[in-house]
Amino acid sequence: MARRAADMLQSVAVDALQLAIPLAKTIPLVGGTVEGALQAVLFIIQVKDDVKMKKAQCQLLAERVVTITAAITTELMKADPATLARRENSVVALRGTLRGIQTLLQELASASLAHRIFKRGDVGDKLTLFRQQLDTAIDAFHRTCALKTPSPCCRQQSKREKTSVIFCS
């Protein structure tokens, strides 16, 4: 039952991403970067089940990636041009982290038995590093809210930060 629900959520996420990727281009200043980030997220969702080692950690990382990217993309779509300009570097950093995760999961999906045995510890370290990089990307994204005059979206997020599960977990 839980597996079926997870499969349904994955299907909805894939459908949503396939719709969002072309729309991302319309976001002023950061559209191309967001498009690249969403393409990486789509790949991560599609390949996570093919990973041959550290499956549970990869699954959790993929779920976190989807949650974070959805929240950030939603905020970017509502942001004014000044806010988008301030957030450009943090969006680029997030895209870089997502591409790194994409590369790692691609390697893990095609890993040989020997690779899985000898590199098990390295993979765990890399997954931990990517989780930390995601946290850093989120922090950088939200620090831009404090710069200059925050948009209404940022002010609203600041009020919710203490209770936000998406960004503080």
Rounded Cα distance between 58 and 48, Å, is 6
N- to C-terminal Cα separation, the chain? 26
Rounded Cα distance between 66 and 8, Å, is 14
pTM of the model: 0.76
Inter-axis angle of helices 55-78 and 2-24, nearest 10: 40
List CB contacts of 142: < 8 A, sequence separation 6 or more: 157, 161, 167
pLDDT at residue 163, as a whole number: 38
Domain housing 81: 2-168
Nearest to 93 by CA among 66, 132, 62, 124: 132
Nearest to 156 by CA among 70, 64, 74, 35: 74
The structure tokens 């930060």 sit at 161
Summarize pLDDT for 94-143 with one digit per residue, the tens. 999 999 999 999 998 888 888 878 887 888 899 999 999 999 988 888 88
How many domains are there within the chain? Answer: 1
Rounded Cα distance between 139 and 71, Å, is 13
At residue 112's C-alpha, the angle toward residues 106 and 117, to 5°, is: 105
pLDDT at residue 103, as a whole number: 94
